[in-house]
Chain A
Amino acid sequence: MKKATFRIWRGDARGGDFVDYTTEVSEGMVVLDAVHQIQAEQATDLACRWNCKAGKCGSCSAEVNGMPRLMCMTRLNTLPLENPVTIEPMKAFPIIKDLITDVSWNYEVKKRIKKFKPRPPDAPDGTWRMAQEDIDRVQEFRKCIECYLCQDVCHVLREHNLHAEFIGPRFLVYAAALEMHPLDTEDRLKELKDAQGIGYCNITKCCTKVCPESITITDNAIIPLKERVVGEFYDPLTRLFRIFRPRASSEQQ
């Protein structure tokens, strides 16, 4: 059987280094399979996160040959196996051990975003009416599996470490899903501008490129949000306009 070498980062917050493991590879294997095989045969304490093994839970995020990927959805036959495959943890978050990073910051950020606040029900039985075409966009955003790969790749977090000022693409998508939800009545634009730092995003689109759910993060979520923020705070005409028209209808894309 064919063999391949995996160069896996081992260590913790105090430091670490790459260790090479050679293992057998068979048809259809993904990077996570190789990690599991190494774990079972050579390094029982090698730490990695995973749950679904089908690209649905967003647990197994790592950097494979330098690219932010879900390990469970990265087939070995898409990688050049003549060279060692490097596997290392995400860079935008503090390291815990081996391939595991501390992603708790993301959970804290989410708490800061104002929750969903629906309008009163449309029907006497307490239910609402929404047309499918009005929720297509929101459903795209709600496909997010919270893998945080977009956070990992965004230079504002990864290189400039502005975690305190900027919520990152994942939570701009989250805010956009709430803002564009046809039933929602909350206003999150002021926070987006001030505390959540939407202005830091300079539309490099790196986040969109790595999203395993193919969410068009920049074009569909961030840019429209930026436009709303501009409209609300910098453009007197739009502001005036909005006073006379309900928000939902004035902002149909």
Chain B
Amino acid sequence: MAEYLTFEHDVLVIGAGGAGLRAAIEASAADVRVGLICKSLLGKAHTVMAEGGIAAAMGNVDERDNWRVHFADTMRGGQYVNNWRMAELHAKEAPDRVHELEAWGAVFDRTKDGRILQRNFGGHKYPRLAHVGDRTGLEMIRTLQDHGVHRGIDVYMECTVVTLLKDGDRVVGAMAYDRERGRFQVFKAKAIVMATGGVGRAFKITSNSWEYTGDGHSLAYHAGAELIDMEFVQFHPTGMVWPPSVRGILVTEGVRGEGGVLLNLEGRRFMFDDIPENYRSQTADNEEEGWRYTQGDKNARRPPDLLTRDHVARCIVREIKEGRGSPHGGVFLDISWIKKRLPNAAEHIKKKLPSMYHQFKQLADIDITEQPMEVGPTTHYMMGGIRVDSDTQMSTVEGLFACGECAAGINGANRLGGNSLSDLLVFGKRAGEFAAKFASENSPGQASPDQIDEAARRALEPFERSSDARGEGPYQIQHDLQEMMQDLVGIVRREDEMLRALEGIEKLWERSRRVSVTGNREYNPGWHTALDLTNLLTVAEAITLSALERKESRGAQYRDDYPAKDEEFGRFNIAVKKSDDGRMQLRREAIPEMPAELKQVIEEMK
């Protein structure tokens, strides 16, 4: 074996957003040696983009709230294919996780009596989101980062993992390269926590950063782990649509929470036109009641603009398709109208939604206190991911844990806004705890030297092809994949289109095997993009295969050819796994029977 820089840890956390940081902090509390790998600089992970808040049933604003309501809301939002045990743990433990952040220095907005303020959000029955204006994610990641730096965690920044290393059936390390020098590094670890986030970069229009290329999904899959729910990709209803260079950037749901309304070209509040049956009893049927709800009237029901994301996104697509969209192919989102109702509305908007105000002012020349915004759906979040044990977060591969967006289960077919930040905290903590436990109970394994050499050889191939005339640069391949996934496996899906996508993916795999890059290994974004292709193609294939298999419409998956929900499909999750011949294999995993006690909670909350 060639000589590589080698590091040894008990627990290695891959990914340093909210989930990874929380896991690393927890593992370090168990007195094991912890390493934390960041794809970018520490504190820059995608968590900073989260705007709305952290869902936790603390009941500070409405004392009727408690874990049971939160649990029922989460299950309803996920259309009952969630892992109910995870939804239960999440609802029960989220308040403690939020209080813990406060003890570590987070400064949340306050209620009049000095407690943590909570706001309304789509799909949550009561005001539940602890927040800091519209920059909650930044507050969370900074708090975890600043707390974490005092805990003796070894942090490796701008470091990208290219493969996991195994000893038999167990994961025992990872092979990575550092961006600055382009050198390979071997990380030995007794347990690994995957916390790499999502897959948004597989689509053209996305709110996700360049980092979101499905690394954890793909690394775990190729190491033999099962992925589930990959068909459920969340398209956030409100991304920016104009100017073109900012297309996809998120416009927080908080805008609607503060009274913003969706309008079509005719100025009609089209969300009132289609309210799904299972939400009808909790949804306002007139504008007046909707407004009162956003202003904290506990007897008012929420306006339909705040229905779940999957539904709102589809209503927007319908308006656009039927010719009632805004000039640049979106719909209008208007918060400026509240000046009819509130004195000092402009100041109020700037105070409640400061980053939205700046974002539109600086990037689109729009003053949201005066003018409506133009918005349209954007790929935002991956419900699907690594299948984990609900309590320990261990995947189907021994020694490999996962948490946050790259793990699956809690969200089912659709995630509620605000549930991701709480998910990161609750399951980040659990993953860290149980990974540390696993590490203390197991001896280190041994990865064979040829695994490591082979990984290095494959990673360097794109450079060898640079003189080869058949070689192709990585950006075009990535771009073609994004276009294709957007067009054929997007918000509205059909069998014939998805079959075409599968053929397209096959061709892109071939092109990716000929990809070539120029320059040297030091900080070379072209090389990085070339290596990301494997991950993107792996998740694209998993998404498409799973979406084909689910012949119904449920949550984020909408099938034009099967527009109805089918009870039969509500009994299982779809799992994919790499078979021995290297092909992607599908399986239906039955959802276990819910305990009577939880069933009753759901009944009561109907």
Chain A residues close to B by CB (< 8 Å): 12, 26-30, 33, 39-40, 44-59, 73, 75, 96-98, 100, 102-104, 107, 110-111, 115-116, 118, 121, 126-132, 135, 138-139, 142-146, 178, 181, 184
Contacts and interface: CB of A to CB of B under 8 A. Distances in A.
B114 A111 contact: no
Contacts of A50: 209-210
Contacts of A132: 109-110
Nearest to B474: A44
A51 B110 contact: no
Given A12-B522, A118-B103, A28 B362 contact: no
Contacts of B42: 107
28 contacts: A26-B244, A26-B245, A28-B245, A29-B245, A44-B473, A44-B474, A44-B517, A44-B526, A45-B519, A47-B523, A51-B45, A51-B46, A53-B209, A54-B246, A57-B40, A57-B48, A75-B362, A75-B363, A97-B523, A100-B523, A107-B155, A115-B105, A116-B104, A127-B115, A139-B132, A139-B133, A144-B142, A146-B43
A56 B150 contact: no
Contacts, number: 161
A161 to B, nearest CB: 22
A130 B117 CA distance: 11
A131 B114 contact: yes
Given A130-B110, A181-B105, A47 B49 contact: no
Contacts of A53: 209, 246, 249
A54 B249 contact: yes
B138 A51 contact: no
A30 B110 contact: no
Q: Give the 10 A-B residue pairs with the shortest CB-CB distance, closest first.
A: A28-B243, A45-B519, A44-B526, A129-B114, A116-B105, A47-B523, A51-B209, A97-B523, A40-B475, A132-B110
Interface residues of B, number: 63
B102 interface: yes
A98 B102 CA distance: 40
Given A28-B243, A127-B102, A129-B115, A49 B40 contact: yes
Given A44-B475, A59-B40, A130 B245 contact: no
Contact of B102 (A28, A115, A128): A128
B125 interface: no
A53 B103 CA distance: 31
Contact of B524 (A47, A103, A131): A47
A56 B250 CA distance: 12
B520 interface: yes
A58 B141 CA distance: 13
Given A52-B49, A135-B107, 20 more contacts: A28-B242, A28-B244, A39-B526, A47-B524, A47-B525, A50-B210, A51-B44, A51-B46, A55-B362, A59-B44, A96-B523, A97-B180, A111-B150, A118-B103, A131-B114, A138-B107, A139-B109, A142-B132, A142-B138, A184-B105
A127 B121 CA distance: 24
B525 A46 contact: yes
Contacts of B523: 47, 96-98, 100
Nearest to B248: A53
Binding site secondary structure of chain A: loop
A37 to B, nearest CB: 10
B288 to A, nearest CB: 29
A115 B146 contact: yes
A131 B114 CA distance: 5
Contacts of A129: 113-115
A248 to B, nearest CB: 15
A51 B114 contact: no
A12 B519 CA distance: 13
A96 B132 CA distance: 35
With a 10 A CB-CB cut-off, give which of A28, A48, A103, A118 has the most chain B CB atoms.
A28
